[in-house]
Amino acid sequence: MVLFGAEERAAAYKRASPTFKIRDNIHRKQHRLDPEEIRFDTHLRSSGKSFHFGVTDIGTAGHRQYDLKLQVIQDEGPWSPPLSPGSEDTEQSPTKVESESYDAKRQHEIRTYLRYIKNGHENIKNLEAFHQYRDGDKLMMAQFFRLCDGGNLKQLRMGYKENGTIPPEQFIWRIYSQLIEALAFLHNEHPKYQNDPKHLNRPSILHPDLAAENVYLVWPFMQSRDGIYPDVRLGDFGKSLFVPIGKGAVIDDPDANPKYKPPEVNFISAKSDVWRAGSIMYSLTTFRRSTSTKTPWIMEENKSFANLTKEHQQAILMDSRRVHPINLTYSEDLNVMIQKSLVLDHNKRPSAGELLKELEDPAKLRKNATWMYKALPSWMTDKVITPSNTFSQERLNELIQPGQLEAARKSHKKAVAAGRKRIREEEERRRVEQLEEEERTEAADQFFSWEKREAGRGSMEILVDDDECDAFIARYVIIRAAGLKAGTWVEPGPAYEEFLRLEKVYLAAQDPAPQPE
């Protein structure tokens, strides 16, 4: 069953569909999507406050499928100045801003696409359309991308890890070369675009969020999947940076944890992206290792990384143990090529453009080597679309009816509150049980001291039989607890005869005689 949060977003979108229009990315093919013809098929994933859905445009003969990303529009502060006096970014009329989705257009990720990525690249998850709409008091942003029906590399890596296997080498060559292609395009180092007027003198687009979860996979459209692999689509540019080609940016983050970052940490450049790409490939070909730092620095004095000496920091960051050879099942050629992107010194690390040139021939050679082909596992598709993330159209149609979504929200809120209450009660029950167990253990220790003392006095004998001993300890625990509560108990306990008297009094109090009529 789809999570209610996803159902809620989908139903709110469908409700709002008569109130907005969808804008095409002017640099791409015109899709002319009709909001009321969008069918929600699956909840692909959620990340932070973003929801990704697999949707279908049922208004077209081909029923084109998209990845629809919904998120609340954030106040990102002043946006970049308009490119020209007549730019839409100069518009201030609230009505015009809302109807033409100018707030969405000014958001960082969409601005990255429209100003810099533009018509995009075949290995970029290109923006096809966008708009904004209202969900109650929230202003929402919607982005349409082609559906990546192969999931992402994080899902793939987890699947292989769970199954204890590794991806085929030919597949690794393919996705590695395509990922570097995408980076070369973003960094404006791709030879194919050097004379393209849309990208001439464009700054480098850096991707500091680059990780396995935003490297998507898409199967070739309308083709059999036999004998082929999916292609890479690099996406999620919400935190992208723009710098002159070959330059970088220093990010002032004194609390930065360098464990999973490139060795240059707060200096972000195109070569940092190359390191991240290499780390993704490294994790796919090793599984049990990552390029994280290997030297701990949080000692007894609880020092943060920023408080270490420069020498100590460098020793941690440039530790050669961060990078080992990949799995021996793979060829040395692949190992060497992945290692090139993981050179610790970023000054010696190749750029994406340089690496693309080095990858071109060996990647092409492997691409055409049919004898190397090994099919990807069947579970790969199963992890993308499952019964648990597929929408019930009947349920969605019910939620968009007047009052139904509001009622469902109240019901969900109550269910969440009840669930939290159950968790608190369970935690309290466990806490009480733990305290009782600790008290029983303490009481048992005191009992043996008491038993030894009273046996030494000749008042009682040491209990040898386990059952008899356990039964007496149970009696002792009860009387001791009552004495401690009354404030009259002195460890390890009273004399044996006094104990029996107290027990008799306690039992009488628990079962009082009936009152005469």
Q: Which residues 6+ apart lie within 8 Å of 435 measured at CB?
A: none
State how far the Cα of 149 lies from the Cα of 154, in Å rounded to an integer: 14
Interval 338-391: pLDDT, tens: 999 999 999 999 999 999 999 999 999 998 888 999 999 888 877 777 878 899
Pairing label, strands 231-234, 138-146 = unpaired
Q: Which pLDDT score is estimated for 388?
A: 82
142-181 b/e (C-beta count within 10 Å ≥ 16 → b) = bbbbbbbbbbbbbbbbebbeeeeebbbbbbbbbbbbbbbb
What is the reported pLDDT for 300? 45
Tell me the C-alpha distance between 23 and 60, whole Å: 17
Note the Cα 422 to chain centre separation in Å: 26
Cα torsion 221, 225, 231, 234 to 10°: value is: 70
pLDDT value for 148: 92
How many other C-beta atoms can be found within 10 angstroms of the C-beta atom of residue 456?
10
- Distance in angstroms (rounded) separating the CA atoms of residues 99 and 199: 30
Which pLDDT does position 514 carry in this prediction? 61
Helices 352-367, 169-186: crossing angle, 10 deg rounding: 150
Percent of the chain with pLDDT over 70: 92
- Pair of tokens at residue 141: 């942003």
Cα distances (angstroms) measured from residue 413 to each of 12, 99, 139, 250, 418: 17, 32, 22, 44, 9
Please give the backbone phi and psi of residue 74, each rounded to the nearest 5 degrees, phi first.
Answer: -95, 155
Quick one: which H or E segment has residue 506?
A: helix 496-510
- Please give the pLDDT value at position 516: 59
In the DSSP assignment, the letter for residue 305 is G
As to burial, measured by CB atoms within 10 angstroms (0-12 exposed, 13-18 middle, 19+ buried), residue 261 is buried
Residue-wise pLDDT for 379-404, tens only, equals 887 777 787 889 999 999 999 999 99
376 close to 157: Cβ distance less than 8 angstroms: no
For residue 287, the one-letter residue type is F
CB neighbour burial string for 362-376, b if at least 16 within 10 angstroms, e if fewer: bbeebeeeeeeeeeb
Q: So what's the pLDDT on residue 79?
A: 46
Contact 154, 213 (CB under 8 A): yes
CA neighbor of 11 nearest in space, from 34, 32, 39, 49: 39
Does the bond joining 197 to the residue before it have cis omega, within 30 degrees of 0?
no
Q: Tell me, what amino acid is at 226?
A: D
**Cis upstream peptide for 492 (omega within 30°):** yes
The predicted pLDDT at position 107 comes to 92
The Cα 334–Cα 331 span in angstroms is 5
Q: Which run of H or of E encompasses 54?
A: strand 50-57
Buried b (16+ CB within 10 A) or exposed e, 205-218: bbbbebbbbbbbbb
User: What residues contact 261, with CB distance under 8 A and at least 6 apart?
Assistant: none
CA atoms within 13 A on the CB side of 333: 12
Which pLDDT value is given to residue 513?
Answer: 61
Q: Are 110 and 104 in contact (CB under 8 A)?
A: yes
**What tokens were used for 389?**
């993330």
38 closest CA partner among 7, 15, 71? 15
Which residues on adjacent β-strands are paired with residue 51? 46, 70
Contact 167, 284 (CB under 8 A): yes
CA atoms of 466 and 444, how far apart (whole Å) = 13
CB count, 10 Å around CB of 140?
22
Q: Is 80 helix (H, G, I), strand (E, B) or coil?
A: coil
Global confidence as pTM: 0.80
Q: Which amino acid is it at 365? A: L
Q: Which residues of the chain have pLDDT under 70?
A: 1, 75-95, 99, 254-256, 288, 297-303, 512-517
CA dist., res. 44 & res. 51, Å (int): 8
